[in-house]
Structure 1
């Protein structure tokens, strides 16, 4: 797929209100290679898109592409090795003919699958050009896993680490750590009329369950039965012909909904409840932005690559304290309530509390259109991993420090 996105005019229909920052000082040529969508990587995501599979990464990629376009950069998109070869000017093969000329792009946005593909097909020239790469990395990469020698010596080698990039070349969905760059995504921001409409039309005893795949409901019968005593429960679980047996009969299942219909459902509901999976997706922020309270389980002990299969092999030892740590820490009550779901008294008390309180729709600035555009613009204008690092301390200061030390030793 070859898509060239030219500079957007100030009154383009692609722009959201008040979202256009200053024009870039120079138009940047950018390649976006979405490695996990390539046939060669196995592309396990595309077949699941219409069957309740996780969409968080695709949401983020769509918002990155839109932001780059709105900011006026020239963007080309690759979702196959053939396209990657053509854009980079690399002949077919496995690195036997590396790039000999300059890199035809100022920046390359890719993921770990794409990074591995570029290594195989660019050969040694990848080392020369890797400072231009930005890796979209949902859960983040810690320095111990990124540094090849350290990872090897201390047992931090995984399938995804040891690329020896600058830590801030990894761009995450949520701000996990200052070691990486926070890329984020965009959730819909309501205008004042929409906010007032939502607050007038909230159904106080209506809950929507976070989980489109029937497997996410397995073993949750007791929680759902308790919740059913208080609220009407709605689901958006995928099914083809028969209702999934994991979804109790008292749940009103709408099946997979288009985004606009899902938004309408969230605008009516009082509660959006998660049962522990998926981790750190965009849906809770969308629900909170539509005036829902997000109820989620805390994890004790926290989930990590040391004790949980989902995180095993990921290049991070970060301990995840709840289903959505960002929502827990940076949004918090009354919009986000995090409790021990295994404590029935605490669970019941939380439901009763939710039915009593009223909250306004809320969206953190960093997840607005304007916030994302500012962030992407700042990264493109200010991040430079290709210039030689300035030694610290500077040579003149090092000489002065050495002279002072010698004087003090006399």
Structure 2
């Protein structure tokens, strides 16, 4: 595959760069999402017209992500709706669902969260216990989801729930669309992490009403797996652009404090740089042609451990200051700088989004053809 960008891509880059430099984003959030949506920068990857988004090729989507990262624009609070739900609706949803939900996502007006993991069903997604029972023409959802990013800000949640009583594993599941504004029926509890922040949440559903099923009832496993393929595809490449910025900060720190003179640390820094290039080429190759069944799992295995090593390396470059830091152990306060926060948060990289152990099982069974273990059979 040719990894170079063409003239049209560079023209698109100039437009993206000019727009980003002309529009201050402040702290991001809903106002920034609406600004992006108003000018058509939401939904570049959608293979559809009429929702307010710009048309863009795959390479132009990469260009936009690169420029967005280059200027240090804020993390997107609308990315779950844009990058995960929208492609899923385009692939599996009906016209009514597309017309109802895609315009709001494209305008940056409606935010979504993902209701997959549960306390007893994280990486083993087929073990979900949240159930949904028919009540007239709607489903009533009851159960608990966990590690739900952006749940406190979300207007909607797409929920994987068991709609067939007595079903097991991946049978009898449905992909439901649930509004979050249902007092007494939907409760969100933030989870305080060791970083001191609360990006993740628990969500409790107590008879919450779902407004629709994506795909057929009982076909939720197929829809959910289709969504995960998107999550670990284009999103992985965009994520790597952020990794590059993080690595650049660690390199600058190593030069500034002299840590780069240590041959061991220098070798580790070079390894991180080289592995990031390999991840990028692998992602581009995957996006540029047919991907094998194990491609998403390979990508997850590559970036999860790489990012953990970067956090460890950043602390090693900092030396003793990485432990004490500015105010890290101040009485009555828990303050972390960017390096410390990245190190602590990266501890979860090999767990969330599908643990490394589960990814290796997928590769073993679906790529190498090895037999399933008893627990994974159905």
* TM-score above 0.5: no
Structure exhibiting the larger radius of gyration computed from Cα positions: 1
Scaled by the length of structure 1, what TM-score is found? 0.27
Greater length-normalized contact order (CA 8 Å, ≥ 6 residues apart): 1
Scaled by the length of structure 2, what TM-score is found? 0.29
